[in-house]
Amino acid sequence: MKLICVVTIALLLLGLAPVAGAQGGDFTLTIVHTNDTHARIEQTNANGGTCSADDAAAGKCFGGVARRMTAIGQIRREGGPMILVDAGDQFQGTLFFTQYKGQESVPFMNAMGYQAMALGNHEFDDGPATLAAFIKALNFPVVSANTDVSREPGLAGLIAPYAILEAGGEKIGVVGFITEEAGILSRPGPNVTFDPIEPAVRAAVGELRSKGINKIVGLSHAGVERDQQVAAAVDGIDVIVGGHTHTLLSNTDSSAYGPYPIVVKSPSGAPVLVVQAFWAGKYLGRLDVTFDAAGTAIRWRGNPILLDSSVPQDANVLAEVRALAEPLKAITEQVVGTAAVDLDGERTSCRFGECTMGNLLTDAMLAATAAEGTQIALQNSGSIRASIPAGPVTLGQVLEVLPFGNTLATFDLRGDDLWAALEHSVSRAENTENEGTGRFLQVAGLRFTWNADQPVGSRILSAEVKQPDGTYAPLDRTATYRLVSNDFTRQGGDGFEMLAQKAINPYDFGDPLDKVFADYLKANSPVAPRLEGRISRAEAATAPTAVIVTPVATDTATAPLPTTGAADNTAGQLLALLVAGVAVMLVSAGILLRRGAGLQG
């Protein structure tokens, strides 16, 4: 449930009104911010993927550090007090990170004049040593009040709970915090811990206020829902600049999650302004806030700035980006296959339901381990980082989809533990703004139905395993199955503790996942994966609803159930729907379950 606590309609309208000149002790600050750029130092297409030559020629590319440099310079030349901050996840997502391990971002962030950065969970993807080298190269502090690195020799002393910035003669406190789940979302190692957010932030705010600082910005990598909870629980924060959930807040885009800013009441009733600026550097956030003498926000206005082709790219920065890109060309331009259809790897698709990229990838994993008798493939959707448009597929695109360097992991697993893994997979997937949705599993050799209206732990209605003849049989909770996943998930990443603890004879050192995918494309192109009904989301059970079962052709709003198999398989599917409180009408022998409108993306 969205925790959007708007102070009043009048206050919101006032906040969106132009900021007038300061009166008396009033002070106006411009907060410029980014989040979740994920190594997108080049301009990208609309979805954060590779900007093709055709897209560039048509002016359909966005972001990139050269364009961001121009936009920041334009704001800075206005001459008012300003701070520039980043809410984390500079790491991971393109070949630039694979090659340069975060150092690709350093010179540009320093040159732009960033003044503080929050830790993101992906900053730990390559371990503490890579993060330490990154922080040491920056000209500004990295802050996280709820991250304890005191026992990690490489990071000890490099991360502070807060920073104190100066703008227009005023001191601004910036308190960092990160999702408490960073430890299972990344690879920080055993010596780094993540504490509960509210107590850590409350303590940091208290220290700042004891120093006489009454204008405080939270710099968060916890997600928009969590940011609103923190705003409502901790006094003394005026603004929260967020990241992690890749959320667009906007006053002009009807597809946005909410207004920019979202206004939340603090425990004392003061307004707290919550902002976030999507991801991949497509937007540059700008919030102008006027504070009174007591440090309370009294007026504000702002909106994310779309960094499209109307914003020119800084020529000097662009030249530096191209120099960094040159060594990567031999990799990025190698064609490994062809896609006959778009391969959908978007987080709004893959983290909440079946997606074509997930189907293709898990099929490749099964094929690569067929000689071992593998029956089922599981792939966490958080490891799928990009889509690929129809046409030639390059190795560079493959590496953008799978940038983490994961390897295949094979193991045996009892059916009851597999059921528990499926329950964990859907435990956050009822809301597209939930954090932790990267745990949603894409599957092959398996199909399941789930209901978001049921309690967590009781959402899986049915699960069936594909048989050698192509039919499906109910998952036997007492049987043992042969599985393939990736090493991150098998070792308990994304909270899959049952895979870490219950896997039988695990081997986590198979071929690199990107190689497996590229080899599959080479052997099977052109590929044309489709939605097959591997993952079905049941209709809400609040009232009986007729689900028409007909043999019509599939489209983007439908998820077909396979028509092959014995009659008891059909009966099992219908029974699962009846359990969910859905009235079913069997119209003909062919079956197609229309997916509920609740599935977003």
Q: Does 169 map to a domain? A: yes
Same domain, 457 and 378: yes
Digit-coded pLDDT (tens) for 237-256: 999 999 998 899 999 999 99
Q: Does 5 map to a domain? A: no
Same domain, 179 and 98: yes
Same domain, 345 and 268: no
- Of 538, 568, 587, the domain-final residue: 538
Residues spanned by the domain of 409: 334-538
Digit-coded pLDDT (tens) for 144-160: 999 999 999 999 999 99
- Of 507, 538, 569, the domain-final residue: 538
Band (433; pLDDT cuts 50, 70, 90): confident
pLDDT over threshold 70, residue 72: yes
What lies within 8 Å, CB to CB, of 210 at 6+ separation is none
Q: What is the CATH number of the domain that holds 209?
A: 3.60.21.10
Same domain, 32 and 153: yes
Q: Does 545 map to a domain? A: no
Q: What is the 3-state secondary structure (H, E, C) of 106-166?
A: HHHHHHHCCCEEECCHHHHCCCHHHHHHHHHHCCCCEECCCEECCCCCCCCCCEECEEEEE
Same domain, 351 and 499: yes
Digit-coded pLDDT (tens) for 328-344: 988 888 999 999 999 99
Same domain, 478 and 347: yes
Same domain, 268 and 349: no
- CA-to-CA distance for 155 and 138, rounded, in angstroms? 14
The answer to whether 234 and 254 have CB atoms below 8 angstroms apart is no
Same domain, 232 and 356: no
- Of 538, 553, 573, the domain-final residue: 538
Task: Report percent pLDDT > 70 for the chain.
Answer: 86
Q: What is the 3-state secondary structure (H, E, C) of 232-293?
A: HHCCCCCEEECCCCCCEECCCCCCCCECCCEEEECCCCCEEEEECECCCCCEEEEEEEEECC
Q: What is the CATH number of the domain that holds 352?
A: 3.90.780.10
Taking each helix axis from N to C end, the angle separating 356-368 and 513-524, rounded to the nearest 10 degrees, works out to 90
Digit-coded pLDDT (tens) for 167-213: 999 999 999 999 999 998 888 999 999 999 999 999 999 999 999 99
pTM of the model: 0.72
Q: Does 31 map to a domain? A: yes
Q: Does 12 map to a domain? A: no
Number of domains in the chain: 2
Q: Does 441 map to a domain? A: yes
Same domain, 101 and 230: yes
Same domain, 275 and 176: yes
Q: Does 547 map to a domain? A: no
Same domain, 351 and 494: yes
pLDDT over threshold 50, residue 572: no
Q: Does 559 map to a domain? A: no
- CA-to-CA distance for 7 and 300, rounded, in angstroms? 13
Same domain, 233 and 110: yes
